[in-house]
Amino acid sequence: MDSENFKQHLKKYLSNENIDKLITSLNDKQKYSCIIIDEEKIDKETIKKIYPTLIEHPFVKNAFLYDKELELGKSLLFEIGAFYILEPCSILVSHFLNPQKDDLILDIAAAPGGKSIHTSFLMKNKGQIISNEISSSRVEILSSNVEKYGRKNISVISTDTKTLKNQFPNTFTKIILDAPCSGSGMFRKDINMKEDWTYNKVLSCATLQKELIIDAYSLLAEGGEMIYSTCSYSYEEDEEVVQYLLNNTDAILLDIPSFNGEYRSSLNKTVHLLPFLYQGEGHYIAKIKKPNTLKKINFPQNKNKYNLDGEIFINNKNELFLTNLLLSFKNIRVLRNGIKIGTIDKKLGLIYDHAYARFLQNNLSKVDLSKEETINFIYGLTLNKTIPDGYVNLTYLNIPFALGKVSKNQIKNHYPKGLRKKLLHY
């Protein structure tokens, strides 16, 4: 990285004193990460009893900071989808988006899925989220994470914004555009981002971001709201991109509510998160509205033939999905439309999928396991239980996490072999 060039370009909005503070903070290691709990699966009191060192976030609902030495990514509760791990700055995107249960939301560059999943938690699996990722490799990671957390209200697709805006102009009530960027906000987390940084990269990203924000705005419904964010400290990728949208459309800039640790530049309705002020890596957030009155989205209210709330989708592989609102995608790769219930076999009927076992409202018989039994099952072992034969949904602390098939008082292990592991701690 060209350090002098980096410092010089920050002078567009930072004083020399704050530039020095930022540079110094980039040499410190980030101590904390953050979890967002799915309150439908676990409550705040339970999670605090299990992990008493958690620090409740001062204003983001169901968010907790924790010391990275706790290694919650290797824990049982993380494995079964009780919480998602996010960088502390990233949690503010969904928080300030303020999603509602009747929203139709587009997350444009969604991988690996944290903002979509956090948004889904806030909506309690209601409404509909279209999580898009143009990268063919990253969209697979996105889809896997959506499956892990049992999200009925998320469809995962892979396409570009030009295709989306041709099919869905003025459609989405809310949009997240966490734009691809030069990544200076990730210098502490990824040394490669620091070594790869150049001012030309900033300018190249800014050009792309201006295209994306215009496309995103065209997808936003009248009266709808959009969050634009980056993990870049560059004014060129942040304020200048937002100002470009304001100059070329009828977009209205909304004020991000004030909070401790924010930094505001001349475009003072938007915020920077800088590591010497806010406990996190680095982020920029702006909130935008399209004028006029928002029209309500009508979601189907009746139960389907499987006695479940929502719409059923069967793809060309006879895979059965359940979601809240089906959109018609043309020439767009669709990886999943909500929860995959299973596959329809001509001889055997419906064969349930592991993903359905992660869905809280599934209609399978439940068997709650002890901590030891749960750890052993995830490792791949068979369990002995005196219960009736047939398929069961295994739970821990009443959190559904796996399918099992009971035969002669044994629960045969149907945990996917690629996911089996020996968990290191609770």
Active site residues: 231
Specify the residue for token string 């960027």: 181
**Beta strands 319-323 and 339-345, pairing class:** antiparallel
Chain center to CA of 306: 28
Pairing of strands 154-158, 128-132: parallel
Is the CB of residue 230 less than 8 Å from the CB of residue 181?
yes
Closest CA to 378 of 348, 418, 345, 350: 418
| Whole-angstrom distance, CA of residue 14 vs CA of residue 418 | 48
Cα(222)–Cα(292) distance, integer angstroms: 6
3-state secondary structure 186-252: HCCCCHHHHHHCCHHHHHHHHHHHHHHHHHHHHHEEEEEEEEEEECCCCCCCCHHHHHHHHHHCCCE
Report d(CA 300, CA 172) in Å as an integer: 17
Q: How far apart are CA 410 and CA 329, in angstroms?
A: 44
Could you tell me if 91 and 280 are in contact, meaning their C-beta atoms sit under 8 angstroms apart?
no
- Strand (E) or helix (H) holding 284: strand 283-289
What does the alpha-carbon distance between residue 233 and residue 26 come to, in Å, rounded to a whole number? Answer: 12
- Residue 93 β-bridge partners: none
Long-range pairs for 264-270 at CB < 8 Å and ≥24 separation?
265/13, 265/235, 265/239, 266/13, 266/239, 267/239, 267/242, 267/243, 270/238, 270/239, 270/242
Angle (CA) 157-42-115 rounded to 5° is 30
Instruction: Give the length of the chain.
Output: 426
Strand ranges across the sheet with 383-384: 366-369, 390-396, 399-407, 410-413, 383-384
